[in-house]
Amino acid sequence: MNSLTIGSVTIPSRCFLAPLAGISDLSFRMLNRRFGCRFAFVEMSSAKSVLVQTKMTKKLLKADPADRPLGIQLVGKDGDDLRRALEVLEPYGFDIIDFNAACPVRKVVRRNEGASLLNDPQKLTELIKVLVKYSAAPVTLKIRSGWDAHSINAPEIARRAEDAGVQAVTIHGRTRAQLYKGRVRYESIREVKEAVTIPVIGSGDVFSPWLAKKMLDETGCDGVAIARGSFGNPWIFEQTEEYLARGTEPRRPGLEEIMETMLRHLAMSIELQGERNGVVLFRKFFSWYTKGFRHIKPLRARAFTSKTEEEMIGVINELPGLKGARDGPYDPQYPWAGQDEE
Ligand SMILES: Cc1cc2nc3c(=O)[nH]c(=O)nc-3n(C[C@H](O)[C@H](O)[C@H](O)COP(=O)(O)O)c2cc1C
Domains of the chain: which residue ranges? 4-246, 255-321
227 lines ligand 1 (CB under 6 A): yes
Ligand 1, atom 6, lies closest to the CA of 20
C-alpha 245 to ligand 1 mean position (Å): 26
The answer to which of 137-141, 198-202, 218-222, 288-292 has the lowest mean pLDDT is 288-292
73 lines ligand 1 (CB under 6 A): yes
229 lines ligand 1 (CB under 6 A): yes
Q: What is the pLDDT of residue 324?
A: 64
Beta strand 200-203 with 70-75 is unpaired
Which class in CATH covers the domain with range 255-321? mainly alpha
Length reported for the chain: 342
How many CA atoms lie less than 13 Å away from 53 in the CB half-sphere? 7
Query: pLDDT averaged over the chain?
Result: 93
236 lines ligand 1 (CB under 6 A): no
C-alpha 220 to ligand 1 mean position (Å): 21
Average pLDDT estimate for 123-150: 98
What is the band of 249 on the pLDDT scale with cuts at 50, 70, 90?
Answer: confident
Average pLDDT estimate for 277-297: 94
Which class in CATH covers the domain with range 4-246? alpha beta
Sequence letter at residue 260: E
Which candidate in 15, 37, 103, 221 is catalytic?
Answer: 103
Average pLDDT estimate for 104-131: 98
Label residue 51 exposed, middle or buried (CB < 10 Å: 0-12, 13-18, 19+).
Answer: middle
Beta strand 9-11 with 223-226 is unpaired
Q: What is the pLDDT of residue 209?
A: 94
| pTM confidence score | 0.94
206 lines ligand 1 (CB under 6 A): yes
Distance of CA 9 to the CA centre of its chain: 19
C-alpha 18 to ligand 1 mean position (Å): 6
Domain 4-246 and domain 255-321 have a common topology: no
Specify the DSSP class assigned to residue 283: H
180 lines ligand 1 (CB under 6 A): yes
103 a catalytic residue: yes
- The C-alpha atoms of residue 162 and residue 140 are separated, in whole angstroms, by 9
C-alpha 104 to ligand 1 mean position (Å): 10
